[in-house]
Chains A and B, each alone.
Chain A
Amino acid sequence: EVQLVESGGGLVQPGGSLRLSCAASGFTFSSYDMHWVRQPTGKGLEWVSVIGTAGDPYYPASVKGRFTISRENAKNSMYLQMNSLRAGDTAVYYCARANYYDSSGYAFDFWGQGTMVTVSS
């Protein structure tokens, strides 16, 4: 059974840092691109970052330069280091597995339960 379990969320002051973790099980972790997606309370989903199987990371402009995604295949784990946090980063953070159903198209077929990050003084 595929499982994704996030941890590391909590309350942090503006300008502070936090490191999220995503522990994966039930599949060959190293074979999948993995993503972080966040959702502010009462709002929609926002893509945060992706790390490819080769370790290549990508970010949207909203977090580029502040967030760093990484993975440790030996531990079946992915991480999100978040620095210079702002109130606007307050959200539930989900990790999600990207499944390529053909050579180019992918969708998020498994999601974790999410971890809450609150940025407030």
Chain B
Amino acid sequence: QSALTQPASVSGSPGQSITISCTGTSSGVSNYNYVSWYQQHPGKAPKLMIYNVTSRPSGVSNRFSGSKSGNTASLTISGLQSEDEADYYCSSYTNTNTVFGGGTKLTVL
């Protein structure tokens, strides 16, 4: 059982905004200021989209944004596009272990 809980699926129509949550158990994630988000298309390697809760790597669209409230981090995608359809994973770490959320499948209707 992952220390980070994500919804199994979310969906939205093109142009809309969606938010994916990532909730950590207080004992499972000790450093919740360092949540990152990854996008994974079928058959491809994951791609870093957000690091340190809110920061975007160079080259990632500003339609992707991250936030945190308490022990829940969130990834928001605005202006949904068909190419955003993918699996999304949050990640953080506890002491010396890295943990991933179970993943959320985003469907663009």
Contacts and interface: CB of A to CB of B under 8 A. Distances in A.
B45 A112 contact: yes
Contacts of B33: 105
Given A45-B38, A50-B98, A58-B97, 14 more contacts: A37-B98, A37-B100, A45-B89, A46-B100, A47-B100, A94-B46, A102-B52, A104-B31, A105-B31, A105-B33, A107-B34, A107-B48, A108-B46, A111-B45
Contacts of A94: 45-46
B96 A50 contact: yes
Interface residues of A, number: 23
17 contacts: A35-B98, A37-B98, A45-B103, A47-B98, A50-B98, A101-B55, A102-B52, A105-B31, A105-B34, A105-B52, A107-B34, A107-B48, A107-B52, A108-B38, A108-B46, A109-B48, A111-B46
A47 B97 CA distance: 8
A42 B97 CA distance: 23
Nearest to B58: A109
B28 interface: no
Given A44-B103, A105-B34, A60 B46 contact: no
A84 interface: no
B97 A45 contact: no
A62 B101 CA distance: 17
A53 interface: no
B36 interface: yes
